[in-house]
Amino acid sequence: MSDDNTLHAGFNPLVRPYMVLFVAWILLLTVVLSPLILIWVVGPGQWWAGHYYRKLRCALDDRHLNFRKGILFQVEKTIPLENIQDVTFIEGPLLRHFDLSILRIETAGQSPGQAHNMQLVGIVDAHRFREEILRRREALRRPSPVQGEASGDAQLQALHAIRERLDDIATLLRDRSKD
């Protein structure tokens, strides 16, 4: 795989305030923790969102989608494109306010309960990135014409070898039946 075919996704800097407000919204909903909202928004929330944003990485090559995020616990996922079932584009009121969107990547597992989802928040030009993921996945599923010809030639050669072998066997059987 060459780096020429690798597409690196950029992330919108507005992911930082979105993350701070998202956690503040959760604190507000818990009622008990709502007094911590001001402390979160002014202090640790800013630090956390800044570090989180700087650690975000996403790259798409011809075979895999690689994603990295996290501060204390870093998560790095590599998803083979052939395992991707769907890429969903999500926007909500808060996301639209920050001109952000979420791409949800749904994958299939080998047995029930093994399917995984991954969410990418704030990718710049998410519609184009989504289309590129789907295009590369389809390209992987379709063999190229060169691969098709090569495998067809190999199959044809194998069939000719089998036919020659069967002719040899038929000749041996005819010779034995004459004796």
Asked if 135 and 7 count as a contact pair (C-beta separation under 8 A), the reply is: no
- Residue 39 and residue 58 share a domain: yes
Diameter over CA atoms, the chain: 103
Residue 107 has pLDDT above 90, yes or no: no
- Residue 96 and residue 78 share a domain: yes
- Residue 114 and residue 55 share a domain: yes
The amino acid sitting at 171 is T
- Residue 109 and residue 130 share a domain: yes
- Residue 95 and residue 40 share a domain: yes
Pull the structure tokens for residue 111: 């047995």
- Spatial distance between the Cα atoms of 145 and 142, rounded to a whole number of angstroms: 9
Average pLDDT over residues 49-61: 92
pLDDT tens-digit profile of 116-160? 678 889 999 999 999 999 999 998 887 666 555 666 678 888 999
Count of domains forming the chain: 2
Place of tokens 């020429």: 4
- Residue 127 and residue 161 share a domain: no
The pLDDT value recorded for residue 2 is 44
The whole-chain average pLDDT of the chain stands at 85
pLDDT tens-digit profile of 108-122? 765 555 556 788 899
- Domain region containing 153: 147-179
